[in-house]
Amino acid sequence: MTVPEQVNTIVLHHSATSNVAGELALSLGAPVFTVHTKRFPDGTANVRLPTEVRGKNVILVADTRPDSAIIKLLLLQAALQRGGAARIDTVIPYYAYARQDRRACKEGQPVAAEVFAQLIGQTTNRVVVVEPHNQSFMGCFGESAVSASPIREIAEHLESFGVGFVLAPDEGALPRAKEVAEILGVPFDHLDKKRVSPTEVRIVPKELKVQGLRVAVLDDMISGGDTTAAAITELKRQGADRVVAACVHGLFLGDALDKLRVAGCNRVVATNTVAVVPYGKVSCVPAIVRALQEGQK
């Protein structure tokens, strides 16, 4: 997706987000600059803008992991304000604290998703988050915050695989599975799971009409791989022909990819928000551009 050249817009990024930032800058017809950070002798962050920003509309493509990346993000936003940027749009391809929302936090724990969202939202005009885990904390980024969904692009990729059925590995993933299935014009369903331990998931038995079909298991992220692997095992047990594991955020922590392979996964597809090469096959940039344009209406 391309748009007319943005003569007064620049794109800044951390090195960890260079792939997304470079493609976004190309789509917008804007120059792109890398922010290099150092550390003072006492270990604190030393951040400096790489170019003049006065009067510019700045799109800051930001990483949020590890924790130190959020400190750099906050300092960069403050530097942009001090430098006279006309507008700041903070784009977060992967919001690392999204799973620490109110539903997940136990007594004595902070709602980290909201804590950091509030901090980030204070020094930027708008925040764009690619496929947040849920929408419950988005308002903490500010009233103008918006999510960017690359589900359309994932559906287009799955169509080339000949997917005839879309499965959500749990109820929380059902809305995304439904959206992809409707784009493809195929049936969909979801499974119910019971987490036995941090590394073990059991699927509640359920009949699925997948005999001989190519099936996509779709979730917003694949982290440890246990939930997706359990779903794949169930699909293979019920006669699915080939199975593709698809997600927006491909974290693939530890032996996650091995778990998917052992379960019978035939292909892994993720976007390029964090995905390990070569699994980041789908670009999240068109979704980001749509979100940025939507906010200008």
The CATH 3.40.50.2020 domain(s) of the chain lie at 9-148, 151-282
pLDDT of res. 163: 97
**CATH code linked to domain 151-282:** 3.40.50.2020
pLDDT of res. 17: 83
Contacts of 155 by beta carbon, 8 Å cutoff, 6+ apart: 179, 180, 183, 184
- Paired tokens of 14: 């951390």
pLDDT of res. 98: 87
pLDDT of res. 2: 40
Q: 37-57 as b/e, with b when 16 or more CB fall inside 10 Å?
A: beeeeeeeeebebeeebeebb
pLDDT of res. 110: 87
Q: Which CATH number fits domain 9-148: 3.30.70.260, 3.40.50.2020, 3.30.300.30, 3.30.1950.10?
A: 3.40.50.2020
pLDDT of res. 288: 98
pLDDT of res. 204: 82
User: Residue 171 carries which DSSP code?
Assistant: G
* Mean pLDDT, 10 residues at a time, the chain of 297 residues: 61 88 96 93 94 97 93 97 98 92 78 94 97 90 95 96 96 94 98 75 85 97 94 96 97 95 96 79 96 76
Question: How crowded is the C-beta side of 125, counted as CA atoms within 13 Å?
Answer: 15
- Paired tokens of 268: 């892994």
pTM for the whole thing? 0.92
Instruction: Give the active site residues.
Output: 193
Q: Which of 288, 296, 297, 294 is nearest to 11 (CA)?
A: 288
